[in-house]
């Protein structure tokens, strides 16, 4: 990770991350751990798009899926008892919701290329929601 990527990552962590984590925790109903593999997300040469892309690829779908599930007491209770961790990474360059999103043993993982199919927010939201609802 070069200096441009490190600067853009730090700026995101300082300016955007706190509010996004607050939203995740609000809709999860508790402070669910969020594990972010910054080195994998910081794709070289696209640091000018980090803030927008990371929100669209990882955070918005997660927040919207949690919001949908937690719309009633049953959903809130299911999240509190079944959601253990959220992981954002890019370990294998996956770019579709079906191949990038999983929910296993209480862990929601979005393992998605941060600079590919960025605007497919609804696809990722729907798939994350369905994966969680299936197991909660």
Reported as a single tens digit per residue, the pLDDT across 19-39 is 999 999 999 999 999 999 999
**Rg, the chain, Cα only:** 14
Distance of CA 89 to the CA centre of its chain: 9
pLDDT of residue 1: 85
- What's residue 5's pLDDT? 96
Report DSSP state, residue 105: T
* Over residues 50-55, mean pLDDT: 98
């Amino acid at each position: 990770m070069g200096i441009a990527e490190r600067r853009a990552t730090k700026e995101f962590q300082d300016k955007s991350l706190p509010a996004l984590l607050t939203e995740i925790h609000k809709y999860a109903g508790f402070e669910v751990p969020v594990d972010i593999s910054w080195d994998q997300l910081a794709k070289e040469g696209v640091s000018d798009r980090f803030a927008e892309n990371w929100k669209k690829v990882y955070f918005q779908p997660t927040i919207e899926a949690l919001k949908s599930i937690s719309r009633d007491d049953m959903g809130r209770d299911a999240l509190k008892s079944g959601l253990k961790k959220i992981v954002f990474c890019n370990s294998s360059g996956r770019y579709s919701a079906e191949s990038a999103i999983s929910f296993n043993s209480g862990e929601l993982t979005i393992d998605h290329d941060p600079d590919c199919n960025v605007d497919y927010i609804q696809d990722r939201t729907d798939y994350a929601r369905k994966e969680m609802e299936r197991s909660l």
